[in-house]
């Protein structure tokens, strides 16, 4: 089973996770820029973070045979902090880079006017840079948030076919699907979606444009939930082609809209045995 | 567009190969569209080396070199763009600081072609502080080989052995290691530490150690010969 995790925060994960992911079949990941738990207070800490997403993290991933890409953005939570919003002016130079395959995560958290501005601005950046957008839908007041998100997308220059609406669930999938967007589902141990509910949603709504991710981060989450969903689909009678569509071809097609997806891993020169990460550095 | 790149044949080393020769190599290996893109990018960089608006046009080309020409050719392409733009130390520093790991590596490769003096040494030192072995290896190209102070150079060699960078990547290794008794001591201590821990000593360590040997008495004074 080949797996493309279209949303995972590897910066927060260990090398054990990379190893387990590779063993489970994960070969490509996209790491969207998000918040870090601890709020940031200046644009400089964003740029260090973005540099890491384009430097250290792909290097780490490559050592485990995983091709790492990223999405760059100011996330909705921190869009509310005027100390952070100047990072919006720094985004264009990042959105040019190789391996940046989307603008994201953007969207709503609390649906404030500041979030409206950041979302509108960054949808325009996506359109200007030929990139698709990964749009987070809010966890609180979700159906209202989805509608407001779709309104923002429709008012923007970015076609809805270049938008992946993420963290969908039973209450939002139908409206999202009717919009023509790509459909993202985050499968978590406790919250968001689980494997069985995911199978039920796919039974009801089909596999077309459906992407499943672990959204694993620094919270309670599991980086091989993608594999668990693949197994659950097979157990439920879906065939290998269905699983390949959801776990590989759909994310390849969506992020391939960027023209920047490189599915090969360029292994660093260092041997595995000699490698600084496996050895824990000096 | 999705890139599936075949592994390339060994390319001309972007730091150790003259720009004209790099260009010839790329012209021979790039497909038509990529070759045409490179030609335009180099012309633009030569014609407009300065900043126009927020970012110079050649910096845009630098950012997209991987997806335009393929990751296996990106280092050489980026070195040529920097060369065509006649990037000075300030421009190289800006590009390095704002660059992805791949762009930073290209800047390191470009140093011997563009910076005659020691002004860009801070970039080499920055790269040596990382744990990205591709940056560490690039830092020990011709520019680092010529400019690094002895202490920093020795630690860099040791870091290669620690992190599995092949010592063949170190430019002028034989010349700089020759007769370096302090490097020999550090290598010996490292080998001892590994042995004490029951861990293998990297093969390359003995190769470097052999290079540190002082010449036989009758050859004293002959410097710079690779043994």
pLDDT tens figures, B120-154: 999 999 999 999 999 999 999 999 999 999 999 99
Q: Would you list the domain boundaries of chain B?
A: 1-115, 130-227
- Out of A55, A277, A282, whose CB is closest to B101? A55
The angle formed by the CA atoms of residues B46, B89 and B123, to the nearest 5 degrees, is 125
Q: Would you list the domain boundaries of chain A?
A: 3-256
Map tokens 């006017």 to a residue.
A113
| HEC profile of chain B | CEECCCCCCCCCCCCCCCHHHHHHHHHHHCCHHHHHHHHHHHHHHHHCCCCCCCCCHHHHHHHHHHHHHCHHHHHHHHHHHHHHCCCCHHHHHHHHHCCCHHHHHHHHHHHHHHCCCCCCHHHHHHHHHCCCHHHHHHHCCHHHHHHCCHHHHHHHHHHHHHHCCCHHHCCCHHHHHCCCHHHHHHHHHHHHHHHHCCCCCCHHHHHHHHHHCCCCHHHCCCCCCCC
Which residues of A are less than 8 Å from B130 in CB distance? 56
Query: Which 8-state DSSP code applies to residue A248?
Result: I
pLDDT tens figures, A147-197: 999 999 999 999 999 999 999 999 999 999 999 999 999 998 877 789 999
Distance from CA of B216 to the nearest CA of A (A): 34
Q: Given pLDDT bands bounded at 50, 70 and 90, which one contains residue A268? A: low
Average pLDDT for residues B99-112, to the nearest whole number?
Answer: 98
- Out of B1, B102, B166, whose CB is closest to A259? B1
- Out of A92, A264, A276, whose CB is closest to B131? A276
The SS3 assignment for B200 reads: coil
Q: Tell me if chain B has a CB within 8 Å of the CB of A261.
A: yes
What pLDDT is recorded for position B221?
A: 45
Choices 3.30.1390.10, 3.30.470.30, 3.60.40.10, 3.20.20.140: CATH for A3-256: 3.20.20.140
Chosen for mutation from A62, A88, A97, A272 (greatest number of chain B CBs closer than 10 Å) is A97
* Rg, chain A, Cα only: 18
Of all residues in chain B, the one with the smallest CA distance to A49 is B100
Residue B225 has pLDDT above 50, yes or no: no
């Amino acid at each position: 089973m080949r797996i493309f995790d279209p949303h995972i925060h590897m910066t927060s994960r260990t090398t054990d996770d990379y190893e387990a992911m590779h063993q489970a079949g994960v070969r490509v990941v996209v790491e969207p820029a998000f918040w870090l738990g601890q709020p940031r207070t200046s644009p400089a800490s964003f740029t260090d973070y973005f540099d890491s997403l384009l430097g250290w993290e792909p290097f780490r991933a490559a050592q485990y045979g995983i091709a790492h890409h990223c999405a760059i953005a100011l996330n909705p939570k921190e869009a509310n902090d005027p100390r952070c919003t100047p990072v919006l002016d720094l985004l264009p130079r990042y959105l040019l880079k190789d391996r940046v395959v989307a603008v994201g995560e953007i969207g709503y958290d609390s649906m404030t006017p500041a979030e409206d501005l950041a979302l509108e601005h960054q949808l325009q950046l996506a359109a200007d840079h030929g990139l698709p957008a990964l749009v987070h839908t809010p966890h609180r007041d979700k159906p209202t948030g989805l509608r407001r998100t779709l309104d923002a997308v429709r008012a923007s220059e970015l076609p809805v076919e270049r938008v992946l609406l993420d963290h969908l669930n039973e209450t939002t999938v139908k409206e999202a699907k009717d919009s023509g967007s790509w459909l993202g589902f985050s499968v978590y141990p406790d919250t968001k979606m689980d494997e069985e509910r995911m199978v039920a949603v796919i039974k009801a709504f089909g596999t077309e444009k459906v992407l499943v991710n672990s959204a694993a981060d620094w919270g309670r989450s599991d980086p091989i939930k993608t594999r668990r969903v693949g197994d659950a689909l097979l157990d439920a009678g879906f065939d290998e082609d269905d699983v390949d569509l959801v776990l590989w071809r759909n994310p390849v097609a969506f992020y391939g809209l960027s023209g920047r997806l490189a599915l090969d891993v360029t292994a660093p020169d260092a041997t595995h045995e000699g490698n600084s990460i496996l050895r824990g550095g000096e | 567009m999705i890139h599936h790149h075949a592994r390339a044949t060994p390319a001309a080393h972007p730091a150790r190969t003259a720009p004209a020769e790099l260009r010839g190599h790329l012209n021979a290996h790039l497909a038509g569209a990529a070759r045409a893109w490179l030609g335009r990018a180099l012309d633009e960089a030569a014609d407009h080396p300065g900043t126009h608006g927020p970012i110079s046009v050649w910096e845009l080309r630098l950012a997209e070199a991987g997806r335009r020409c393929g990751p296996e050719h990106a280092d050489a392409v980026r070195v040529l763009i920097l060369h065509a733009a006649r990037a000075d130390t300030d421009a190289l520093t800006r590009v390095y600081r704002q660059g992805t790991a791949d762009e930073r590596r290209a800047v390191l490769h470009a140093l011997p072609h563009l910076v005659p003096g020691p002004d860009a040494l801070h970039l080499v030192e920055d790269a040596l502080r990382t744990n990205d072995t591709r940056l560490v290896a690039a830092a020990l190209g011709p520019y680092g080989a010529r400019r690094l102070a002895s202490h920093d150079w020795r630690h860099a060699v040791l870091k290669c052995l620690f992190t599995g960078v092949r010592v063949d990547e170190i430019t002028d290794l034989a010349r700089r290691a020759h007769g370096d008794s302090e490097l020999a001591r550090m290598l010996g201590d490292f080998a001892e530490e590994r042995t004490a821990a029951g861990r293998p000593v990297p093969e390359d360590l003995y190769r470097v150690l052999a290079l540190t040997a002082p010449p036989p008495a009758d050859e004293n004074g002959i410097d710079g010969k690779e043994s």
